[in-house]
A and B are shown apart, each in its own frame.
Chain A
Amino acid sequence: MLNLWNVTQKDLRLLYRDPLALVLLIIMPLALIVLLSTAFSNVLTGSTRIRIAVVDLDQSQTSGAVINGMIASDSLVIDRVPAKGSAFSRAQAAALLGGGERLAVLVIPAGFGEALAGGSHPALTYYADPAQARNGHLVAQAIQAAFQAAGANNAPAVSAVNVDEQPLVRGASLPSVFEQTVPGFTFMFVFWLAGLIAFSVFAERRVYGTWHRNYISPVSPVTIVSGKLIAAYVIGCAQVLALFVLGWLVYGMQLGDAPAIALVIGCFLLVPLAFGLCVAAFIQNQQVLGQFMNLTVVLLGALGGSMVPIFLLPGWMRAIARFTPTYWVMTAAQDLMFRGANLRDVTTNLVVLVAFAFALFVVGAAKFRTAT
């Protein structure tokens, strides 16, 4: 046990003093997070008019006037959705929000005009996209303003309308910029841990010549390799923690069910670890190793939903994505972060991630034994 700690400490120190590790694990993803988030948010704030869908279940003169008033407003783009019957479901709202270009669905209930005329304060139902929570107040403000404008002509009591904000069903919501880029690039670049493990094994065997010294000490080879893997795991945890805390503190990224997220990521980090063992065992050439890792990191990032949000991927790519561990950790993390999911909802993801790690570990360990 003491030996394992000594070896782990040694490998931690090696990684800590390796500028490559810092660049690959922290600086690269951070640069991409900042760069792409800025680019995205410029696009978002560029459109000052907020687009919402309005469903008129009342079909009264008052409701018509209110909607016209809203259409006339500068701050809103209104998609008038014809009502089917007198009821409106959450599923319908989700469908209207689905594409992500509408921030909210406003429902004017049946009997709205009468209630208003009778002097009471009827409630409106407002379905907001929780992924756009940060824009929620803008939407509410815009609706209030539009009502005010409409009410000046038609209904004096309109300013008192309650907007009943309804959270939407899970699965229909989209990530905000940071809820995409922070976990996305973190999980993408943490895969370099595999490369760092393989580089380190390569260096000890072929460059430092320390492998033999370790190997002929009374400490078992299993301990020597385990120490390396544990060190990489610790570094991986530190990387995720650093980037997530940054996303949370600086960018207001939602953390949702944080302990569950920690568990999911804890399991996910086993995958690059086991993969590192495979890479170290199968690739004995430093140049090939570097290029292979580059390719792997980019491919996993692109397919697994790190670079491009999964909902934007075409169907066939979404099918392929399921073969990447990145997909499973991205979906689990995002469900937990802002879709209100709990640990039970992401059990499948956890199982798949652990299975990935286990399979890679078995293959890697077997090959590693014969290769060294």
Chain B
Amino acid sequence: MILELDSVSKRYGKVEAMKEFSLSVSEGERFAILGPNGAGKTTSISMIATLLRPDSGSIRVSGHDVQKERKRVRGLIGLGPQDVGLYPSFSAIENLKYFGHLHGLRGAELERRIGEVLEIAGLVDEAKKRVLQYSGRMRRRLNLAVGLLHRPALLLLDEPTAGVDPQSRNRIIEDLRAINQSTGMTIVYTTHYMEEVETLCDRVAIIDHGELVVCDRVANLLRSLGTAVILARVTAGSERLVDAIRGQIGARQLSASDGLLQLGVDNARDALPELLRLADCVGATVEDIQVRKPSLEQVFLSLTGRGLRD
């Protein structure tokens, strides 16, 4: 296991930012910590990155305790902080050189790696420009490049795709996949975009309000909803309909909030007519109905009773 958290808790005054988190990540995985704003993502990453001390519990990176063997751990991790960490009056090369030096890289080896990560970040042509003149997107990519420079065993990224347009987001995700596949570097990253996690990650920890809601393979989580999810907008009598469904349809998962009914089923072809029939029976009004493939969005809704975008 490259990363192990064992009942890690952290509070800021009254706010419990992490309640007894336990999870582990094995080498070479692409792992996501998924949760809405304020869920405790940055807190988790900072703790793993030795920037914060847990109140209780322990964290190990490649078997080294994050608290007792800080220096060792720091050599193993690379960090892409949520707020970009770059010197604005330096060029990309100057930034990379400096942080490379800090990690003991020098001379030809450093030059070579800088070339490599600039390539990955797509910044070769702008490498001599000062970061001051970079767009937000370029800064993020350079931020990632700095984190990669010393080839850490564990790459920690805090919301690398937040506030980036969808196209660049896809590129970053593809880059991360490529890095992981070509170097075998373990990637642990946080996000509040679920689609991303579905396309990139093997496993995910879903967190909300400082609680670890679930930690599992993405495929397992999706499978738990069945093969399809029925979404129905019910304008009247939704409680009656829910009660009726409970008795009648073999739903894997059922949740309702604000008149939006979500139903995970194994066989949508059978369940759909059944649902409409029941609505008719109990006198509920269904305005809109959709059948979708299961997604993490629905997993989150089914587990927390809330949409991730609330």
Contacts and interface: CB of A to CB of B under 8 A. Distances in A.
Interface string B74-102: 11010101011111111000100011011
B74 A218 contact: yes
| Size class of the B contact interface (CB-based, 8 Å) | 20 to 34
Given A13-B94, A209-B81, A217 B86 contact: no
A286 to B, nearest CB: 16
A210 B101 contact: no
Contacts of A13: 89-90, 94
Interface string B110-129: 00000000000000000000
Contacts of B90: 13-14
B146 to A, nearest CB: 7
A322 interface: no
Contact of B89 (A7, A14, A215, A218): A14
Contacts of B49: 212, 216
| Size class of the A contact interface (CB-based, 8 Å) | 20 to 34
Given A216-B74, A217-B74, A209 B84 contact: yes
A216 B98 contact: no
Contacts of A210: 85-87
B51 interface: yes
Interface in A132-181: none
Nearest to A219: B102
B99 A216 contact: no
B81 A212 contact: yes
B240 interface: no
Interface in A184-222: 208-219
Given A6-B101, A218-B103, A209 B86 contact: yes
For the residues of B in contact with A, the DSSP-based class is loop
A214 B102 contact: yes
Nearest to A214: B102
Contact of A18 (B51, B89, B101, B103): B89
A213 B142 CA distance: 13
A61 interface: no
A17 B89 contact: yes
Contacts of A217: 74, 99, 102-103
A348 interface: no
A281 B104 CA distance: 29
A12 to B, nearest CB: 12
Most chain B CB within 10 A, of A17, A209, A212, A217, is at: A217
Interface string A25-69: 000000000000000000000000000000000000000000000
A276 B88 CA distance: 22
Given A10-B98, A212-B49, 10 more contacts: A3-B102, A7-B102, A14-B87, A208-B85, A209-B83, A210-B85, A212-B85, A216-B50, A217-B102, A218-B75
Interface of B: 49-51, 71, 74-75, 77, 79, 81, 83-90, 94, 98-99, 101-104, 106, 146
